[in-house]
Amino acid sequence: MNQIQLSDNIYYVGVNDRHTDKFENHIELPNGVSYNSYLIVDTQVALIDPVEANFLEEYLFKVKSVLQGRKVDYLVINHDEPDHSSTVAAVIREWPEVQVVGNAKTFAPLEAFYGPIANKKVVAEGETLSLGTHTLQFFMVPMVHWPESMVTYEQHSQIVFSNDAFGGFGTLNGGIFDDQVNLAFYEDEMRRYYANIVGKMAMQALKAIEKLGGLEIKMIAPSHGLVWRSNPAWVIEKYTQWSKHESEEGVVIVYGSMHGNTARMAEIVARGAAEAGIKEVKVYDVARTEVSFILSDIWKYKGVILGACAHYANMFPNMTLLVHELNEFKPKNKCYGLFGGMSWSGGGVKTLAKYAEEGQWNLAAESVEVKGAPIREEDWDKLYNLGKAVAISCLSGK
């Protein structure tokens, strides 16, 4: 079997998931996702983070192919979430004497999912575990993105096994390492992962990066996505940028339209933004594009303009999830604008304004509400100037 080595006697034994449609049953996976696991074969053997249960047979085959009859001595659990931990019970059945390694917060959730664990080894901040030549050291990164989250650092090879931190969506299509693939694709999927999974915990992510800053790091091996061996500083820089809410010049326009009139308004708004000098203008129909993609671009760009038609004195229903996520994940340093349409009653712009107030959004211009279609010159001018005002605010850095 062609075995994938990260370093001497450290192996990649992860799997690709090309079948699951939605991550955590709500985030679309058009490009799949990988579940990464790692095996260290030394005087003692350590398995770091198992995989999702649907891939158990393939996973055990890979692990056993490397072990050649040896047993697993330690199973390190950096994170309890079931996309990583749901094969824990099967690993214990396969190697009954295995010691499951976690921190003080690991085992209550783990046993709630899978029942009692007999052989527990609780590790503390900075504690080490010698396997022979290789030595594991454990660092707590609480709320990146669960309370028990930790990373495991292998001192000899200077590899950080980072669980969900520095991870991304997308299967590993032959290339496992960052220097084997086109990074542009994986950067987009990594940012989408960050914006929808880690972004809410941006401050904790920054603290984790600061904590790991004192380590000599030659490689970062997350639980999803690429292994960063050629330039780990690149992915650390990206995570730092996103966690500090540093945005690029650009405007994201998102609209919800029942009969096409609010969609027509979005086109006018986009023209205003473009003619003000913004080259990156992204326009999304919230009924056609799943929210995780929109939120990823909102995290990337500084300007956000939301448009919703009225719907029974409220706003277009599909917009509700997006504005909820914006106030839940709280991307900062944005310039906002609001617009929408009405017929016999309003509600779209009014409801957007309510979310804007709750989220303390920085509105760069007065909101625009159009009755019926944008066929009057006055309405056209207001929409155009809304796009222009948000763009100018983005360009000026306000």
Q: Which CATH class is domain 4-243?
A: alpha beta
**Band of the pLDDT at 344, cuts 50, 70, 90?**
confident
With the CA atoms of 197, 200, 204 and 207 taken in that order, what torsion angle do they form, in degrees rounded to the nearest 10? 90
Ramachandran category for residue 331: left, alpha or beta (phi over 0 → left; psi -120 to 50 → alpha): beta
Residue 2 has pLDDT above 80, yes or no: no
Percent of the chain's residues with pLDDT above 70: 99
Mean of the pLDDT values across residues 78-84?
Answer: 95
Q: Provide the CATH topology of domain 251-396.
A: Rossmann fold (3.40.50)
Ramachandran category for residue 31: left, alpha or beta (phi over 0 → left; psi -120 to 50 → alpha): alpha
Please tell me the number of Cα atoms within 13 Å of 50 on its side-chain side.
28
Residue ranges of the chain assigned to CATH 3.40.50.360: 251-396
Residue ranges of the chain assigned to CATH 3.60.15.10: 4-243
Residue 397 has pLDDT above 90, yes or no: no
pLDDT for 119 equals 97
* Residue 356 three-state SS: helix
pLDDT for 189 equals 95
Mind giving me the DSSP string for 125-156?
TT-EEE-SS-EEEEEE-TTSSSTT-EEEEETT
For tokens 């209550």, name the residue. Answer: 108
Residue 94 has pLDDT above 80, yes or no: yes
Structure tokens at 67: 């072990």
Q: What is the mean pLDDT of the chain?
A: 95
pLDDT for 398 equals 66
Closest CA to 316 of 274, 290, 346, 271: 346
pLDDT for 278 equals 97
- To 5 degrees, how large is the angle CA 253–CA 194–CA 90? 135
Structure tokens at 227: 């292994």
pTM for the whole structure: 0.93
- State the amino acid at position 386 in one-letter form: L
Residue 1 has pLDDT above 80, yes or no: no
Other Cβ atoms less than 10 A from the Cβ of 8: the count is 12
Q: What is the pLDDT of residues 232-277, one digit of tens each?
A: 999 999 999 999 999 999 999 999 999 999 999 999 999 999 999 9
Mean of the pLDDT values across residues 42-66?
Answer: 97
